Amino acid sequence: MSAECSSYLNADKVLVSGFSCPRTSGDARAVYCCGFQDVKYCCDDPHSFFPYEHSYMWWLSVGALVGLSIAAVVLFAFIITVCVLCYLFISTKPHSKLDTGLSLQMAGKTNC
């Protein structure tokens, strides 16, 4: 079984001539022509969309998870700190009014 990849213009607008799959220097299982209008390649899965290895995506995912985990820990520490400071502020606040020494009673009636 073999497939023919027709010629195409790549992203740099350079004409790439057609070729047969599988290529002599490639994998013998890659008998399908896969790709898009600007990149074509031989593959072993007719439903394949990209000619690239996806292992780099795993490392990006691990890096994103580590970054998000660090950000979550920092945010959690900030929230805990704010809650503790608010509790300390409220709990150390005096519960009774301070005595200023001034009497706020109404003065007695005077007859004129």
Give residue-wise pLDDT tens across range 23-58. 888 788 888 888 888 888 888 877 765 555 555 555
Tell me which residue of 39, 38, 33, 1 sits closest to 19, measured CA to CA.
33
Between 81 and 25, where is the model more confident? 81
Q: What is the pLDDT of residue 93?
A: 75
- Distances from the Cα of 13 to the Cα of 9, 17, 34, 38, angstroms: 5, 12, 19, 8
List of residues 6+ apart from 45 with CB closer than 8 A:
32, 34
What are the structural domain ranges in the chain? 2-41, 52-92
Cα 10 to Cα 8: distance, rounded to the nearest angstrom: 6
Between 59 and 25, where is the model more confident? 25
The pTM of this model reads 0.40
Q: What is the pLDDT of residue 83?
A: 95
